[in-house]
Structure 1
Amino acid sequence: MTSRIDATPVPAARPVETAQGSTVSRAGNERGAPVVAAAPSESLRLTGEAEGLMALERKLGNAPAGLDLAKVESVRAAIANGSYRVDPQAIAERMLDLDAALGG
């Protein structure tokens, strides 16, 4: 079985000429005109989850969640007056516990 290929050339597409002689693209815009971005949208629509997160953020205010501010102040004061002591054994045990919890 054979197929015949016709070698008839396809005419090249040409830009459309207007009455004034300027070239216009197929979409109707002048090729020399700058491209204008679409106007930004002024509306915003939040999902229920986003609204819940915003409400939680307002409720918590500026305080980080789970932070014991009294303990932070006591440690800060102990460091300032030189009475804060580091227990390397406790730090090492907690690091090993964390490693085990992470599957290490």
Structure 2
Amino acid sequence: MTNRIEGTAAPVSSRALGAVGTGQVGRAGEPRDKAVEAAAPADSLRLTGEATGLQALQRDLATKPAFDEAKVNALRESIASGSYKVDAEAIASRMLDLDARLAG
């Protein structure tokens, strides 16, 4: 069996070349050696209200020290002088409250 080849191949469509959606095509008469550039995709980002609030909190915390140095110094002085009193009932009460909340 023989196959007969006639004429030329059908033109290749832009869809076959993967040019779909680029938004740009070569103009008639332009040189074919120049590449057609595809439009850059536009990235976008939209933050939720919670994310915006967290960013604001992060900026606020970044400007403040990690601890209150004056309060730490005052506690050191009161411990050194013996005037610092521990309220065992308040500590126990708060521990029980925390345990109840964690147990749920």
TM-score (norm 1): 0.35
- The one of the two structures with greater contact order (alpha-carbon pairs below 8 A, sep at least 6) is 2
* TM-score normalised according to structure 2 size: 0.35
